[in-house]
Structure 1
């Protein structure tokens, strides 16, 4: 089998099984693990998978620039956004992450819902300007342009003064082994810090984020109290979430 044929087959297996292990692929194709690792390196360089220790996971499709991502799985994002918006109760303090899914979520909010929104996303803050009963607290810092959110030491210092009811956290990947992931190291740290300031963390995952992974870990699936998804989860991921006591909507 040619290397090109083998790599195509690896992607087929990855799509079906949601992960591949170098050792098992070596046995399956009758080639050395060095050959398999080379295949995985080349596929990762093409952006076709996410390498992890011992193998690879499906790569998240949610790593494109912000303007591009706004139009990815838009119907799926709207579906999860409607369900997520209904979780906000009057009078709550709610941290809202940046991202295209949370941008859709605030569009679903009732105009007469009174709550306090805390965000490090200038776009989310501006999007809430026309909601007269929403008090908006915008956390400053260095602007991370890919997700249009602030990061950095001053941002982290500011959030330490907040005790929120809910945190709506954006992710680029949800995977049974990798947990919640994103494409930037500093942003992953910020998301962990925001989650620590809320009583409950809600993750909204449109279809392209399920069973995929990005380079930087935010935390295990147990970091979330609620996962809002569009459609049915596969049996293995569903069972794991139930074991971790994560409510699935």
Structure 2
């Protein structure tokens, strides 16, 4: 196997599993421990992973590329999206945020008569065959790493929209820091969307809780529906009940 291809596969394997031992990498990729150490050091130097006791782990302190995030917890993300899509009705005007979980909505709303406003580039591309979806792009500057558009001058245009439902993504969620994002250039758009949504849905898998990123774009108490894939601890359940947030835990019903 070519070195660069192997290193890419090692990175994907670590991101998918979150943390692994060096022995696991040696066995999986059938190379010597010295080779694994060199490959791992390259990924550490690039900021993709970090060394931990007994092995290595994904580094979430930096903004990850869209394709790296997309391969992680994909089954759970699709379950979350299915639950969210079940609440979308024909005639709705909705906003779909950039993100790998929100992207999964395309699989479940493509046969509905809805208007979608989005900054999610992959959603726009995947919606091409579905003529019943009216898709409006936010436009702006292309952010290649997140496959999204950012637009500092969107405020005046967005004030014209009244969204029935907005489906938001997040890098990390906590009670103290709220709903956070790693990309400052997207923050103003996210803040405005939350204010313009009649119902605000937050779509996050279990790995996003008790973490936070660079910027907060809304408080957790500003969310109307929280859809995740695993039951939450008592602290979150109490907060959700006190703030009248509807919690939906997505499960594999099939």
TM range (shorter): 0.7 to 0.9
- The number of residue pairs the alignment matches comes to 194
Q: Check 1:63–1:212 CA distance in 2 against 1; reply closer, same or farther (3 A cut).
A: same
Q: Is the 8 A contact 1:60 1:173 kept in 2?
A: no
Aligned to 1:83: 83
Q: Distance in 1 between matches of 2:193 and 2:125?
A: 20
Unmatched 5+ residue regions in structure 1? 1-44, 49-58
What is the CA distance between 1:145 and its match in structure 2?
2.3
Q: Check 1:62–1:204 CA distance in 2 against 1; reply closer, same or farther (3 A cut).
A: farther
Aligned to 1:105: 105
Q: RMSD of the alignment, in Å?
A: 2.1
Q: Is the 8 A contact 2:167 2:200 kept in 1?
A: yes
1:133-182 Cα deviation digits (max 9, x unpaired): 11111111112222222122333332222111011011111112111001
Q: Distance in 2 between matches of 1:61 and 1:83?
A: 29
Q: Distance in 2 between matches of 1:146 and 1:137?
A: 21
Aligned to 1:41: none
What is the CA distance between 1:234 and its match in structure 2?
0.7
Aligned to 1:126: 125
SS in 2 for 1:72: coil
What is the CA distance between 1:62 and its match in structure 2?
8.7
1:191-202 equivalences in 2 (<5 Å): 191-202=190-201
1:1-249 equivalences in 2 (<5 Å): 63-109=63-109, 111=111, 113-249=112-248
Q: Distance in 2 between matches of 1:129 and 1:154?
A: 26
Unmatched 5+ residue regions in structure 2? 1-46, 51-58, 249-254
SS in 1 for 2:82: helix
Moved more, 132-141 or 163-172: 132-141
Aligned to 1:24: none
* TM-score, length-scaled by structure 2: 0.71
Q: Distance in 2 between matches of 1:162 and 1:133?
A: 20
What is the CA distance between 1:108 and its match in structure 2?
2.2
Q: Distance in 2 between matches of 1:186 and 1:246?
A: 28
1:29-63 Cα deviation digits (max 9, x unpaired): xxxxxxxxxxxxxxxx9987xxxxxxxxxx85794
Q: Distance in 1 between matches of 2:122 and 2:193?
A: 18
1:186-227 Cα deviation digits (max 9, x unpaired): 222221111112111101011211221112111211121100
Q: Distance in 2 between matches of 1:115 and 1:222?
A: 27
Q: Is the 8 A contact 1:185 1:216 kept in 2?
A: yes
Q: Is the 8 A contact 2:152 2:185 kept in 1?
A: no
Q: Distance in 1 between matches of 2:62 and 2:166?
A: 20
Q: Check 1:245–1:123 CA distance in 2 against 1; reply closer, same or farther (3 A cut).
A: same
